[in-house]
Amino acid sequence: MSEPLRAPRAEAPSPAPTAPGPAVSGPPGLSRRPRPRRIIAVGGGKGGIGKSMVSANLGVALAQAGLNVLLVDADLGGANLHTCLGVGQPTATLSDFLRKNKAQLDEVIVPTGVPRLSLVAGAQDALDAANLKYAQKQKLLKTLMGASADYLIIDLGAGTSFNTIDFFILADHGLLVVLPEPTSVENAYRFAKAAFFRRLQQVESQYGIEDIVESALTTREGSLRTLHDVMAQVRSKDAAAAERLERELADFRIRLVVNQARTDADLNVGAAVASAWKKFFGIDMDDLGAIRYDDEAWRSVRKRRPVLIERPDSPASMAIQRIAARLLALDGTTDSSSP
């Protein structure tokens, strides 16, 4: 039987990378709370790729490692994370917080039955929930940044709307889930490109490159299709600004997870996508590994149970344990030698 991940004992000194960040401003009652130790956002270019299954079971894996985890269902148009965890529809959801029926995020957090794992269920009952107003989005972003947890996992909706992308690039780890299918890979590439250029838009005024970013976003042929092209244009205007921008964008690093791999070739899709992204776009993408197609996984979904709880020794469970271990290793929390 595979052993769950183990975080270091409480008395062990915490490495610098895992120290909580500074307090952040936010709604009343949250301004003095520390930032979560790490934020993980799970996104994808299309629906039906298993994002919620990955989010739920990754949360279980980290909780089993002794970490306090808060799962947030931010799939504002089709929330179902509670179903993956076997939690009945909570009486208070994210929509109550967004509509100000509940003043504090704590009021919509519910237990999952898994020790150290809590949930904010999605906004199922709001027809306009997927179209957040700017002020609502900013409130939610600030509040999530002030949530008290070792790990905050945000399960995002599919596609490349600004709401989805802004949550994705907020995270310390942006996990992009992809199926080993041409359409899914193509949509994943579009998602990654949209996230990168959205990040550029957020910093363009700092470097005076608004015109360059606009050209990169609107051109279909010719120049400004890749990071290399953008940086060349910035460098021609201001070499020092280009150097600073390059350092900042080096932190933009997507983590790829291939789901439902059926063949040995499918297991290599992540590495192939990361290599193509690096070659074409000039920035790194991490291949966190593949989750084998596993009958136990869909059986667990039907039972409304995380596969890590229902069948911890299944191929899918063991793959998710390895992915969790790699994330912990990236954070300096433990090694990546999970079975």
What is the SS3 assignment for 140-203? HHHHHHCCCCCEEEEEECCCCCHHHHHHHHHCCEEEEEECCCHHHHHHHHHHHHHHHHHHHHHH
Q: What pLDDT is stored for residue 244 in this prediction?
A: 80
| The residue type at 257 | V
pLDDT band at 8 (very low <50, low <70, confident <90, very high): very low
Look at residue 223 and tell me whether its pLDDT is greater than 80: no
| The residue type at 153 | I
**Residue with more model confidence, 211 or 166:** 166
Ranked by mean pLDDT, the top range of 133-142, 160-169, 183-192, 248-257 is: 183-192
Rounded Cα–Cα distance for residues 73 and 55 (Å): 9
State the CATH class of domain 35-181+254-330: alpha beta
Q: What pLDDT is stored for residue 68 in this prediction?
A: 95
Least confident of 146-150, 194-198, 224-228, 242-246: 224-228
Distances (CA, A) of 123 to 47, 57, 100, 111, 145: 17, 21, 13, 17, 19
Helix, strand, or coil (residue 313): coil
Rounded Cα–Cα distance for residues 89 and 304 (Å): 12
Q: What is the pTM of this model?
A: 0.83
pLDDT band at 130 (very low <50, low <70, confident <90, very high): low
Q: Is the dihedral of CA 70, 75, 77, 78 positive or negative?
A: negative
Ranked by mean pLDDT, the top range of 80-94, 99-113, 121-135, 282-296 is: 282-296
Q: What pLDDT is stored for residue 298 in this prediction?
A: 86
**Residue range 275-289: mean pLDDT, rounded:** 88
Least confident of 18-27, 151-160, 260-269, 300-309: 18-27
Look at residue 339 and tell me whether its pLDDT is greater than 70: no
**Residue range 127-133: mean pLDDT, rounded:** 62
Q: What pLDDT is stored for residue 240 in this prediction?
A: 83
Helix, strand, coil abundance in the chain, percent, nearest 5: 45, 15, 40
Least confident of 2-16, 284-298, 303-317: 2-16
Helix, strand, or coil (residue 120): strand
Judge whether 87 and 110 are in contact, CB under 8 Å: yes
Tell me the chain's radius of gyration from C-alpha atoms: 20
- Mean pLDDT of all residues in the chain? 81
Which are the contacts of 239, defined by CB distance < 8 A and separation ≥ 6? none
The two tokens of residue 176 are 């992009």
Nearest Cα to 292, choosing from 331, 325, 318? 318
Q: What pLDDT is stored for residue 222 in this prediction?
A: 45
Look at residue 3 and tell me whether its pLDDT is greater than 60: no
Judge whether 208 and 238 are in contact, CB under 8 Å: yes
Q: What pLDDT is stored for residue 132 in this prediction?
A: 74
pLDDT band at 225 (very low <50, low <70, confident <90, very high): low
**Residue with more model confidence, 22 or 244:** 244
Look at residue 133 and tell me whether its pLDDT is greater than 50: yes
For the chain, the first-to-last Cα distance in angstroms comes to 10
**Residue with more model confidence, 136 or 71:** 71
Phi-psi region of 188 (alpha: psi -120 to 50; beta: other; left: phi over 0): alpha
The two tokens of residue 31 are 């301004």
Distances (CA, A) of 89 to 81, 97, 123: 10, 16, 11
Q: What pLDDT is stored for residue 34 in this prediction?
A: 52
**Residue with more model confidence, 144 or 10:** 144
